[in-house]
Chain A
Amino acid sequence: MQDDNLIRRAAAQDAAAFEQLMLLHQKPVYNICYRMAGNAEDALDLSQEVFLKLWRTLTQYQFDAAFSTWLYRLTQNVCIDFLRKQKRQQHVSLTFSDDEDEGKELSVPDPEPLPEERVIFNEKQEAIRTAMNALPVDFREILELRVVRQLPYEQIAQIMDLPVGTVKSRLARARLQLKKRLDAGNFFETGASKCTE
């Protein structure tokens, strides 16, 4: 309800209302961008692009879906456009997981940490970050939307334009791939289970 009022005022080009709306939503948008781009510098650029697009297109929001669904879909599209351009410019492989076959290639290369990123990460967090960056982009996105943002399957289905059944199966495969990559680096104290193969 509070959002609706802010959205209407922001759509009428009320910059103060837009600022409040942005403060409410910038954390999830930034984190989705971070997951999809894989590094802080691109996540910042992409999040800025998302909010500037939001400012210019907010009148198109019809209140027929949850605002977060609309915003995260916009975020996803901005990130995918960026990754496609990056692929063209840098000849980097951008793949999505294939529902018939596990994703085989990396979506974007694991970037060198920027100076501001050279924070002493907890060892496990750093391992998670590296393993996440090695997953296909849609696996990273679905883990962010479900595990971190805790969105319901139905909302994720709307954002990613997938059937709910595919959301569930892709999420399960994303978790297993992440676990498999971490297993390879002796992340867990005990070895991988044969049940997960």
Chain B
Amino acid sequence: MNCENALELMNRELDGALTEAESAALRAHLDACPDCRETWRQLHELDALLRESELEPPAALHEGVMREIRQEQKRKPHRAWVPAAAIAAAAALVLLAGRAGLIALPGFEQTDVISVNIGSAVEQIFAQTGAKTPDEAAAQQAAELAAETGLDVLLVWNSGVPLELETAAYETAQSGARLYCVTGQMAQTILDEYGAAAYSPDDVFSDLPEKEAAYVLVLP
């Protein structure tokens, strides 16, 4: 082994990446070569000193970031992330009403129709978040859709068609709202970027990116 080979092995030895045979060969060379022995000592010392030079982050880092995040959340009242439990309650109300025969929901085969004001329940939720409520009929439509399909439904209003959906296929509801079926990941992106309310058939909102599909209802 020459000194150049030994130098390469020294580097890998510092990284714990030598085989036993390579390690033994390096030892043999170091025993015979005082120059390489000195190089090895120096490289070893440098690695140790570098590791010891690690710094503790200042408290200002964590404090500054969290302050900014909390201020950012306050600055976004238009974005209605409706609490999951409250949404579950709203969706349950739709289901309850459907089973009791009070309103017609697709799939429940009810005929004697009266209206139930799901919108007022949703309004209360929005009042808690400080966000401006969407159209009541649209809120009801979104809640019904979530209950019927078992999918999360995002309601987007006052934002136009999100850029991410401009070329996507959609159905048009009677109200003129556009209905898109998207991946959970896309739904999460839209929720993050646009003023949106989310309606869920269950209370597991944080898993939205993991859902295979979700609906986005865009008001005209």
Q: Which residues of A contact B (CB under 8 A)?
A: 8-9, 11-15, 18-19, 22-23, 26-27, 29-31, 34, 40, 44, 47-48, 51-52, 55-56, 59, 124-125, 128-129, 132, 143, 146-148, 153, 168, 171-172, 175-176, 178-179, 182-183, 188, 190, 193-196
Contacts and interface: CB of A to CB of B under 8 A. Distances in A.
A26 B62 contact: yes
B152 to A, nearest CB: 12
A12 B211 CA distance: 13
9 contacts: A11-B209, A12-B206, A22-B62, A26-B57, A44-B60, A128-B53, A175-B43, A179-B42, A193-B42
Contacts of B185: 59
Given A44-B61, A195-B36, A59 B192 contact: yes
Interface of B: 3-4, 6-8, 11-12, 14-15, 17, 33, 35-36, 38-39, 42-43, 45-47, 49-58, 60-62, 64-66, 68-70, 73, 81, 185, 188-189, 192, 205-210
Contacts of B3: 195
A187 to B, nearest CB: 8
Nearest to A59: B188
A34 B55 contact: yes
Nearest to B208: A12
A190 B3 CA distance: 18
Contacts of B65: 22, 48, 51-52, 55
A52 B36 contact: no
Contacts of A179: 39, 42-43, 46
A195 B35 contact: yes
Is chain A's binding surface mostly helix, strand, loop or mixed?
helix
Contacts of A23: 62
A171 B69 CA distance: 37
Given A124-B49, A172-B8, A48 B36 contact: no
Contacts of B57: 26-27, 29-31, 44, 47
Nearest to B52: A125
Contacts of B8: 172
Given A8-B207, A9-B206, A193-B36, A27 B58 contact: no
B192 A175 contact: no
6 closest Cβ pairs, A-B complex: A30-B57, A195-B3, A12-B206, A172-B11, A193-B35, A193-B39
Given A30-B61, A125-B49, A15 B70 contact: yes
A125 B69 contact: no
Contact of A190 (B36, B38, B54): B38
A57 to B, nearest CB: 9
Nearest to A57: B192
Contacts of B11: 168, 171-172, 175
Contact of B188 (A11, A19, A47, A183): A11
Contacts of B35: 193-195
A11 B205 CA distance: 11
Q: In the complex, which of the residues B4, B46, B69 has the most CB atoms of chain A within 10 Å of its own CB atom? A: B46
Contacts of B55: 30-31, 34, 40
A31 B54 contact: yes
A30 B59 CA distance: 11
B104 to A, nearest CB: 33
Contacts of A59: 185, 188-189, 192, 209
A47 B62 CA distance: 9
Given A147-B47, A195-B3, A168 B12 contact: yes
B180 to A, nearest CB: 18
B46 A172 contact: no
Contact of A175 (B46, B61, B64, B81): B46
Contacts of A27: 54, 56-57
Contact of B73 (A13, A146, A147, A188): A13
